[in-house]
């Protein structure tokens, strides 16, 4: 029985180490994913700004501000021209949205960055980032913090969510088998 317990203990120690490594590697990729996401986000922002600049230039050539140009275009009797006003307004909103997201993520501290990232996540950009994501070995303090956090999270999930309930269940079953069963007491 001692040999079995030692083998199980050694197996559990090995599992702890594997979970530590897996958690560190998995969580340390978060800063790298966010960095690659920011690069893509910046590309989308640059392209949206380029389109908006073309609309502004066209408005200036017409002697109008962009807002006036959008308003006049939307008011046009021709439906296809009126829809172009909506496209220009959407371009303005897109630039504002992307610029706000980029600033929020870039300016957030290491502890707030995941929340800023999730709060400003663009699913299409995230999918595109994931499709070409290249894992990297983190060499920053932020990467180290995420790695340590990953180790703690996976160990806590294992020990508190899996191991502890199983150990309690086994101990209760063992206690029931060992406990003598008292004969029923007859009423007096």
For the chain, the domains span: 29-143
Of the pLDDT bands very low, low, confident and very high (cuts 50, 70, 90), residue 118 is very high
Average pLDDT over residues 31-44: 94
Nearest to 88 by CA among 122, 54, 116: 54
Distance of CA 155 to the CA centre of its chain: 20
pLDDT in tens, 123-160: 999 999 999 998 887 778 888 888 888 888 878 887 78
Q: What percent of the chain clears pLDDT 90, i.e. is strictly above it?
A: 51
Rounded CA-CA distance 161/15 in Å is: 15
* φ and ψ of 38, to 5 deg: -60, -35
Nearest to 52 by CA among 91, 83, 17: 91
């Amino acid at each position: 029985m001692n040999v079995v317990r030692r083998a199980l203990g050694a197996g559990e120690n090995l599992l702890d180490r594997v979970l530590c490594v897996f958690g560190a590697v998995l969580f340390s990729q978060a800063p790298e994913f966010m960095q690659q996401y920011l690069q893509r986000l910046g590309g989308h922002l640059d392209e949206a700004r380029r389109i908006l600049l073309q609309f502004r230039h066209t408005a200036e050539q017409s002697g109008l501000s962009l807002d006036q140009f959008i308003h006049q275009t939307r008011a046009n009797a021709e439906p296809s021209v009126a829809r172009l006003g909506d496209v220009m307004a959407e371009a303005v909103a897109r630039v504002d949205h992307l610029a706000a997201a980029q600033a929020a993520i870039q300016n957030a501290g290491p502890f707030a960055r995941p929340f800023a990232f999730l709060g400003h996540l663009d699913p299409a950009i995230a999918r595109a980032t994931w499709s070409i994501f290249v894992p990297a070995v983190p060499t920053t303090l932020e990467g180290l913090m995420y790695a340590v956090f990953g180790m703690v999270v996976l160990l806590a999930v294992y020990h508190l969510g899996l191991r502890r309930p199983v150990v309690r269940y086994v101990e209760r079953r063992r206690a029931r088998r060992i406990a003598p069963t008292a004969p029923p007491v007859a009423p007096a």
